[in-house]
Structure 1
Amino acid sequence: MKKFVPILLVMFLVHAMLPASAAAAQFPDIKGHWAETYIVSLSGAGYINGYPDGTFKPDAPMTRAEFTTLLISSMGLKSQAANTDSFKDISKHWGKNYINEAAKRGVLIPSEYPEGLVPDGNIKRSEAAAMLIRALGEKPDTGALPPFTDLANVEKSMYKAHIKRAFDLKLLSGFPGGEFQPFTDMTRAQVAKVITDFLGLYDGSSPVITVPPVSGDITSIAVGEDKFSLSRNPVTFKFAYSSVPLSSIIVKGDQVTVNGTYNFFLNSPLGNPDLIINNNLYIISKYTVSGDILVAFPQSRNINSLEISGYKYNTDFVQLFINSAYGDYYLADMQIIDEYTVKVDGKTYDLNDDRLTIALGGNFYDIIRINLSSSANPLVLEETTRVIVDGMRFSDISAIIVEDGSLPLKNIDEIKFLIDSKTYQLRDVVIDGSGNFTVSRKTYPLDDVYMYIDGQSYTIEDISLYREKFIFYCVESDNSDLVMVNNKYRDVEDIEIIKGTTVYDLDEVLVISRNLVRIENKQYTVDSTFKARMDGKLYDIDRIDYDLRLDIVKMTLTEAKDSSLGNQPQRIIFYVDDKKYQEGVKSDTEIYVNRNWIDFDRITIIDPATFDYKGKNYDLIDADIRLDDEEFTVVDTSWTGYRQIFSIYME
Structure 2
Amino acid sequence: MKTQAKIITLALTIQMVASPLMAMAAFFPDSQNNWAKNAIQSLSDQGILTGYPDGSFRPQGLITRAEFSAMMVKALSLNLNATGSQTFNDVPTGHWAYPSIETVRATGLVSGYPNGQFMPAKSISRAESMAILSNAARIPMPSDATINQVLAGYRDAASIPTWARPGVAAAIQAGIFANEPNAGNAIEPLQPATRAEVAAMVENLRARMNLAGGQAPAATTPPTQAGTAPTTLQGRVSSVPAETKFTGTLSSGVISSELNKVGDMVNLKVDQPLMSSDNMVIIPTGSQIMGKVTEVQSAGRTGKPGTMDIAFTEIVTPDGQRYAIQGSVATEDGMLRGDTTKGRILKSAGVTAIGAGLGAALGTAMGPLSGGKVGKGAIYGTAVGAGAGALAAAAKKGKEVSISSGDKLEIKLDQPITVQVNTPQ
TM-score (norm 2): 0.48
More helix by share: 2
Q: Of the two structures, which has the highest relative contact order with CA contacts closer than 8 Å and spacing of 6 or more?
A: 2
More strand by share: 1
Instruction: Select the structure of larger CA radius of gyration.
Output: 1
